[in-house]
Amino acid sequence: MQNAIIGHHQILEQLYHAIASNRVAGAYLFVGVANVGKETVALHFAKSINCRTSDEGACDTCLSCRKADAGNHPDLQIIRPSGTWIKIDQIRELQKRIIYRPLEGVRKVYILTEAERMNLEAANCLLKTLEEPPADSVLILLTTNLDALLPTLRSRCQIIPFHPLVISELAEHLMERFNIDETQAFSIATTAGGAVGKALALVQEGGDFNEEIPEIMTASDRLDAFRIAEKWTQQPEALDHLVTWYRDLALLHQGAPADLLTHVHHAEQLKQLTAHYSRLQLQSAIKAIFETKAMLQRNVNATLALEVLALKLLRRP
């Protein structure tokens, strides 16, 4: 089953149930971090709505499913930002089409990716459709940032939150599907922060995926700290990853066995590192990472916040 979806079972069941009981909403809003699986689930939902043979998800074999997979189902359209924004012209085009009955399927499905990239003009325009959606249409908006959408727009959608997978669950799926060993599967799942799409991309990047101990854990120089902070500004999700390493150190510091670690294959190196930290230092390191993450969500000066964090995390020489 190459197209089987990893995780999100509850969401899929909820959506299948809506199809089976003929209670599909006019508009959905899928919310979750990038690459967590929103678009995959949206496409599968669209396919399932119009599948001719199955009530329990798409069959993947009927004409409708095959057209959807090939990207040429006449009643399924994906709208992505054109450049930086989803433009008002794209919304107007949608509105022109949505008033007609489906050509082949049960409903017309429109998936709008990165809905937070709708400017005010486009959002207000879309609002008109959301206020009175044609009966045989479904809009599925995807977003990483619920707060960036107009409240009036949010309130007209059924909101479905997507959570990253538990690391061990994702690792197990990766082992089953790609024939990779446990160590590698856990590394990839951890680096991906439980986001399925990101994990799959990492698997595809190559079999020799090897994670390394984060630089900041061995750095003791202020210049290194600034360089590392600069890297973090490019990929703020590095902080989620970082915290798993400090947790491992904290575990080892308390004498926990190596098989409890997330980064089990680095146990030896980590054991050596614990000598450089006190229990208190590890606790405050973890606290500082969480505080910084919270600050970044409040739109503080990211560079400054990350520099302060890197300096705090520097190992005492």
**109 is a contact residue toward Zn ion (CB under 5 A):** no
Q: Give 66 or 293: the residue with its C-beta nearer to Zn ion.
A: 66
Residue 30's H or E segment, with its range, is strand 27-31
- Beta-carbon contacts of 24 under 8 Å, excluding residues fewer than 6 positions away, are 18, 49, 107, 138
Which span sits near Zn ion by CB under 5 A: 55-63, 204-212, 214-222, 287-295? 55-63
Question: Closest approach of Cβ 37 to Zn ion, in Å?
Answer: 20
> By CB under 5 A, what part of segment 141-200 binds Zn ion?
none
Which candidate, 48, 47, 43, places its Cα nearest to that of 16? 48
For residue 82 the two structure tokens come to: 């054109």
Q: Which is nearer to Zn ion, 65 or 140 (CB)?
A: 65
User: Measured from the CB atom, is 62 or 219 closer to Zn ion?
Assistant: 62
Binding of residue 51 to Zn ion (CB under 5 A): yes
Judged by CB, which is closer to Zn ion: 51, or 76?
51
Q: What does the alpha-carbon distance between residue 307 and residue 317 come to, in Å, rounded to a whole number?
A: 18
Specify the stretch interacting with Zn ion by CB under 5 A; choose among 12-20, 32-40, 53-61, 229-237.
53-61
Q: Kindly state the number of chain residues that form the binding site for Zn ion, as judged by CB under 5 A.
A: 5
Give 89: exposed, middle or buried? Use CB within 10 Å, 0-12, 13-18, 19+. exposed
CA atoms of 91 and 86, how far apart (whole Å): 8
Q: Cα separation of 238 and 231, whole Å?
A: 9
Residue 58 or 305 having the CB closest to Zn ion: 58
**Binding test (CB under 5 A) with Zn ion, winner from 5, 12, 25, 62:** 62
DSSP 138: E
59 forms part of the interface with Zn ion (CB under 5 A): yes
- Between 50 and 292, whose beta carbon lies closer to Zn ion? 50
Give yes or no for residue 65 binding Zn ion (CB under 5 A).
yes
Task: Pick the piece of the chain touching Zn ion (CB under 5 A) from 59-67, 112-120, 220-228, 244-252.
Answer: 59-67
Q: Please, which residues have CB within 8 angstroms of residue 279's CB and are 6 or more apart in sequence?
A: 250, 253, 254
Residues that bind Zn ion (CB under 5 A): 51, 58-59, 62, 65
